[in-house]
Amino acid sequence: MYETIRYDLRDVILTIALNRPDRLNAFNSTMAEELIAAFDAADADDAVRVIVVTGAGRAFCAGADLTGGAQTFDYEAHEGAESPVRADGSIDYSHHAVRDIGGMVSLRIYRSLKPVIGAINGPAVGFGVTMTLPMDIRLVSETAKIGFVFARRGIVPEAASTFFLPRVVGISRAMEWCSTGRLFGAQEAKEGGLVRSVHAPDELLPAAYGMAREIADNTAPVSVALTRQMLWHSFAQSHPMEAHRLDSRAIYSRGRTADVAEGVTSFLEKRPAVYPDKVSDAMPDFFPWWDEPAYR
């Protein structure tokens, strides 16, 4: 089904593995399309409770596939590419050919209704690290090297990372890493707030799956999906009253559900909860509460 990724669902935990190990899982347009399709499939499948993203082989992702040489980022030079250049020589920046494909992947991860854990098992450079920023939790192998190397290639950060990175690590750290373009190690990534924890290579995936199980075994799927979007969209709020309005609607709508009855009853009866509501059909009637911006 997929050429550049592996999609492996086992007992409610979905593993998406970037799967071009001979190219250090370098990113290309096929991988972009397949990642978007994989997240679409995960959102549509109530059997998926948590997503773990990792890399096959010794790398997480070495960034963009540079086999195209100097024309790698000159999209118009690619065979069969449509041109956004108008007859008068001006550029139609709203043309789909202008869009950054890495950003399309990041935006799809951002919209995910399932929590996403990044298990960074090796080098994560360029898109290899920016794609992890809209993930909810990041764990890293102690052997990994990370780099926002764009300025060293004559380009700029992509994959909507100028939105995500300062929100994750702060503006000063983001500017340092992006302006120097240097590689740094796992410990600096942890100290900078980019990753939650550092692990020995053979302990990384068990730690990621342990966290995934903590979510899957103890929480209500609809509550997690709703909470994820409430938290991410809080960055666009200008006043805490906006959060209060949203919290009030969410608590009211959730409070009337069988999930809440089960959550309270199971707590009082000191037994594991079995939540009946499904993400596919039990999101509240006000969801989504935002208007998705168009690309233009």
Is there a single domain that holds both residue 32 and residue 153?
yes
Is there a single domain that holds both residue 224 and residue 201?
no
pLDDT < 70 stretches in the chain:
68-80
Gap between the Cα atoms of 281 and 270, Å rounded: 28
Please give the DSSP secondary-structure letter assigned to residue 123: -
Q: Supply the CATH number for residue 260's domain.
A: 1.10.12.10
pLDDT of 67: 74
The domain in which residue 151 lies consists of 5-215
pLDDT of 66: 76
Residue that terminates a domain, selected from 186, 215, 244 = 215
* Number of domain units in the chain: 2
pLDDT of 68: 59
What stretch of H or E contains 119?
strand 116-120
Is there a single domain that holds both residue 239 and residue 209?
no
Phi, psi values for residue 200, rounded to 5°: -60, 150
Q: Supply the CATH number for residue 46's domain.
A: 3.90.226.10
For the stretch 211-223, pLDDT in tens is: 999 999 999 999 9
Gap between the Cα atoms of 18 and 61, Å rounded: 7
Give me 119's structure tokens.
């298990």
Residue that terminates a domain, selected from 193, 215, 237 = 215
Closest by CA to 262, choosing from 276, 281, 279, is 276
Is there a single domain that holds both residue 138 and residue 77?
yes
Is there a single domain that holds both residue 119 and residue 64?
yes
**Measured at the alpha carbon of residue 252, what is the angle toward residues 45 and 215, in degrees to the nearest 5?**
40
Gap between the Cα atoms of 171 and 153, Å rounded: 22
pLDDT of 73: 53
Residue 208 identity: A
Beta bridge partners of 183: 147
For the stretch 103-119, pLDDT in tens is: 999 999 999 999 999 99
Residue that terminates a domain, selected from 173, 199, 215 = 215
CB 111 within 8 A of CB 232: no
Q: In what order do the strands lie in the sheet with 145-147?
A: 124-125, 145-147, 183-185
For the chain, give the number of residues: 296
Is there a single domain that holds both residue 192 and residue 135?
yes
Max alpha carbon distance in the chain (Å)? 73
Residue 293 preceded by cis peptide, ω within 30 = no
Residue 92 three-state SS: coil
Residue 230 identity: M
Residue 247, CA distances (Å) to 88, 220, 224, 226, 244 in order: 51, 17, 14, 10, 5
Closest by CA to 275, choosing from 210, 209, 218, 213, is 218
Q: In what order do the strands lie in the sheet with 50-55?
A: 5-10, 13-18, 50-55, 116-120, 137-141, 197-199
Residue 217 three-state SS: helix
